[in-house]
Copies of this chain bind each other. A is one copy, B any other.
């Protein structure tokens, strides 16, 4: 049982100093490595790790082909400004190959996890000779893994897996006592720019989690375009999270007076404090209609757009 630290209990500077000391003590004269996804958690771990280890921490950004538009360049740019150099590894082909023909959501997650850890990142770690892996696991990941709601990809010890034995390295999880709000506070204290620590959450499997059914390059392009439009139009409205989901079901549409059997995009936009419960944001109807109109015009193959009107529970924030 991990002892959580709530936001009121959290002294950011004290927490940072302690974690820096712990990381230095654990890694010693060794080399550590971490994978930066661009999300809040891994960004904060990257900052914390570099403060502790400097050049002894190697940070890689794995381009898995499942990212939002311009994501790797944007993330690398933010860290470059902070004096931290990020290596971008292009592994798109390996991820697409692993996802080919996979439609079950759990198997998709599994394919991404396996490709990430065993194949791509595993190879990089082995070649780097690093024996320490820094990870941005937070308390909510542990809770959800234990509850069996969703399999998180970055929780090993809680599942009884020894990473030393299974993967050949030791995992350090400096954020494991915090929830999202605590991680954001630490990010702020570490000097991360607002665009990083205040970003809307994005799931581990990235756009693959926004596709129902098979993940292909074409379908990734479809959901990537819809995501860009959705984030542009729903950003800055105070919502906790917002997203576009590509459905596998086909629906009838019309183009130029002729039948067009097309695709459907589902929009979700959430009001929530901590993601444990959530309600759909009461967006103005005109905004929803404009958003739908823009998507059916700008995203090829999409003829229909819906807005999710269910609360969590029984819904969840993500669809798959």
Contacts and interface: CB of A to CB of B under 8 A. Distances in A.
A316 B255 CA distance: 10
Interface in A265-320: 266-267, 279-280, 282, 285, 288-289, 291-293, 296, 303-316, 318-320
Interface string A251-272: 1111101111110001100000
Contacts of A257: 147, 149
A180 interface: no
Nearest to A286: B282
A313 B254 contact: yes
Given A247-B247, A285-B282, A252 B313 contact: no
Contacts of A250: 212
A243 to B, nearest CB: 13
Interface in A126-161: 147-150
A252 B320 contact: yes
Contacts of A261: 105
Contact of A307 (B262, B306, B320): B306
A252 B306 contact: no
A249 interface: yes
A259 to B, nearest CB: 5
A213 interface: yes
A102 to B, nearest CB: 15
A267 B307 CA distance: 10
A248 interface: yes
Contacts of A252: 105, 150, 316, 318-320
Given A296-B315, A306-B306, A307-B309, 12 more contacts: A147-B257, A247-B249, A249-B249, A252-B316, A253-B316, A255-B313, A288-B309, A296-B314, A303-B314, A304-B310, A306-B308, A306-B309
22 contacts: A105-B252, A148-B258, A149-B259, A212-B251, A251-B316, A252-B318, A254-B312, A254-B314, A254-B316, A255-B314, A279-B289, A288-B309, A296-B315, A304-B308, A304-B310, A304-B315, A304-B319, A305-B310, A306-B306, A306-B309, A307-B307, A307-B309
